Amino acid sequence: MPPSLVITIPCFNEDAVLTETVGRLSELVRELISDQNLIAPGSRILLVNDGSTDNTWPVIQQLHQTNPFVCGLNLAGNVGQQNALMAGLETAKEFGDIVVTIDADLQDDIGIIPEMIQKYLTGCDIVYGVRKERKTDTWFKRVTARGFYKLMDRLGVKSVYNHADYRLMSKRAVEQLCRYQERNLFLRGIIPTLGYKTAFVYYDRAERFAGESKYPLRKMVNFALDGITSFSIRPVRIISLIGVVFLLIALGIFVYVVFSLIRGNTVSGWASLILSIWLIGGCTLLGIGVIGEYIGKIYLEVKNRPRYNIESRLLK
């Protein structure tokens, strides 16, 4: 019997694209059910409203009434894309054998979903959608993205290069993911640690056909910091090593000053002294900031607050 598919989409202020998005995905689901017999008739499209301030939820309600594939999940407030994804995944596993997560703008190619399902049928529990290249990105975004992935690799974090959150997961993989209870979610780093058999499907990313990007520079930076500090303590260790280096430099300067005094040389260097104070002060503040980042995350984790609150559900 073919598996039931749930396409899960986090939505934040996406009323401009949802009708077109659901139309394209519904056509694909019908084709996968009737023509290719790859998925079961009970397959669904799950739209998760992440506290949108526009008409996203009314549009979802309307689509639910007119489209037999559409289900909806309305979160009580904006909790961020990663938490909205988790809300969708935890709901989707209740009635789906496989779950595909994708962004609402459909910049990711939905044409590779059949290939993802084929990989699942051969025994893969996780299938990553990976971009072939980043031609549609600006130069700044290409450079920073490449640097981010390389940094994550150096810090020992498992991640898939050029992969965002476009992936297929089996029900058991989703169930295992739901056992991870941390509040600082970075799914691109968590999912590779699940350990199940994985595969990759490559595609070209298109331009956004409507609406605006929901990931400005500020959110991208915050997301990168979450990824780094959620999976590695190496930044703290690096700061410790920098502290040791500075102590050795200070010891060398002390030896030099004592030697100069013994030889009777005048020790000048007001400018270098002030420069050293500022340099050391800056490194100290940087170190405190990094350590504070970790302490802040510990603070959020120990409170054990729920990651999201579901206000209403439109499920069939």
- Rounded CA gap, 31 and 45, in Å? 14
- Rounded CA gap, 19 and 27, in Å? 12
* pLDDT at 271 (0 to 100): 45
| Angle between helix 270-303 and helix 217-231 axes, rounded to 10 deg | 80
The domain segmentation of the chain, as residue ranges, is 5-212+308-314, 234-303
Question: Which of 101, 77, 205, 72 is closest to 145 using CA atoms?
Answer: 205
Q: What tens-digit pLDDT sequence spans the chain (316 residues)?
A: 899 999 999 999 998 899 999 999 999 999 999 877 889 998 999 999 999 999 999 999 999 999 999 999 999 989 888 889 999 999 999 889 999 999 988 888 899 999 999 999 999 999 999 888 766 666 666 676 676 667 666 766 676 777 778 999 999 999 999 888 877 777 887 888 888 999 999 988 776 555 555 555 565 656 556 655 565 556 666 766 676 677 667 667 667 666 766 776 655 665 467 557 766 776 776 777 677 777 767 766 676 777 888 999 998 7
- Rounded CA gap, 39 and 25, in Å? 14
**Between β-strands 163-170 and 98-101, what pairing exists: parallel, antiparallel or unpaired?**
antiparallel
Reported CATH class of domain 5-212+308-314: alpha beta
Question: Which of 10, 44, 40 is closest to 25 using CA atoms?
Answer: 44
pTM score, two decimals? 0.72
